[in-house]
Structures are given as C-alpha cells and as structure tokens.
Structure 1
Amino acid sequence: MLEYSLRFLAGGIAVSVFAALGDTLRPKSFAGLFGAAPSIALATLLLTLSQKGAPFVALESRSMIVGAFALAAYSWTVCVLLKRFLLSSRAATMAALIVWFAVALGASAALFQLS
C-alpha cells in the first residue's frame, strides 16, 4: 500500500510540474508533449531507484531511450507514408510498425551488447 501511495504522490507532483512547464510554452499544441508520459516515467524511475537500485534503473532508462527513438522513427515513417505516398491512416500505421520493431530491436541489440 505504501508503494502505491508513493507512486501516486510522485506521479502527481511530476505531472503537475510538467503541466506547468507545458503551460508556459508556445504554441499550446506543443504543451501536450509534457503531459503524462515523461512525468510518469520519471516517477517510476525514482521509485524503482529506491527499491531496486541504480543498476536496474540504468537498464530501465536505456530501455526508455530506445523506445523513444523507435517511436520517433515510427512517427516520422507514418508522416512520410501519409503525405508523400498518400496511404490511408490504417495502412500507414500498420506498415510503420515494421520500422518501429526494426529500430527498437536493432537499437536494443546494439546498445545492450555494448554494456
């Protein structure tokens, strides 16, 4: 129960800080980037650090970074498929999943082989 309370408190504080940051940015559509995902990730890493230690948090952080790069590649691919090739949104998002998997698995293999 204490863990859930800490998650709630840390997540709430982090969401509030990122929401305040997002409010100060222009354009307002950019503020959505600072919504829940970064703040929840940071709160989770903070709690994991206190429970499982720094080596585990380092591994999780690297995994989050790989996921962010894979999402960026996926999003860019969807944009290209929609604008340049005029695919339907369903076809573009399904086709771009191949890029997401390739970047995620390739970056994971390269990054975790080095460590």
Structure 2
Amino acid sequence: MKQRKYTCGFDAAIDVMGGKWKGLILFWLGEETLRFSALRRKVEGISERMLILQLRELEASGLVHREVYHQVPPKVEYSLTDFGRSLMTALTPLGEWGEEHLERLESLASAS
C-alpha cells in the first residue's frame, strides 16, 4: 500500500503554498495579472532570485500560469490558474481574519 505524503487536507494546502512569500504572491496575483517587475514591487522585501524560485514552484504546482510573449523586449505575465483561484477562495477568510486582528498581531510581533 502506498504511504500518503499528507496527513490531512490542511497539511497539503500548507505544503503547496507554505513559506513567507507564496501567500503574498498568490494574494497579488489574485488581484490582477502582473508582469514580473510589477509583482516584485508589490511583494515588498523579496529578492529577484527568491521571486523567481517561488514563481517556479507555484507554476509547477499548477497554481500560477506563466505567459511568455515573444517580442522585443520580452514580456512575461503571471496569473492565477483556476486551481490557484480555488486556493485563494479558501485563503480569503484567513486574510480577512488577519485584517480584523492586524493591530493586535502587530503589537504581539513588536513585543517579541
């Protein structure tokens, strides 16, 4: 019998979008289709290398679509797939909870 990688659905969801940056990337792509440079400006603090790595992982997991336009200068746009939008539907309440408790969470973070 094949052993399962995940113990539950939450475990699987966290694995596919875990880490500091993937949630932010998904959030901004949930708002609109973005070119690499625009996405990098929106995800404050991320290095170019890290953004490239995270986008590759999100693309490999089927959450993000990368559209390459063969023109000069080259143009690449990133957007959510239907699969990615379904994850954002699940993450939206989490973001709303964070907004509702933002002041408290910031005070906890500054106290530590």
**TM-score, with length taken from structure 1:** 0.27
* Structure showing greater Rg: 1
**TM-score, with length taken from structure 2:** 0.27
Larger strand percent:
2
Bigger relative CO (Cα 8 Å, ≥ 6 apart): 2
Larger helix percent:
1
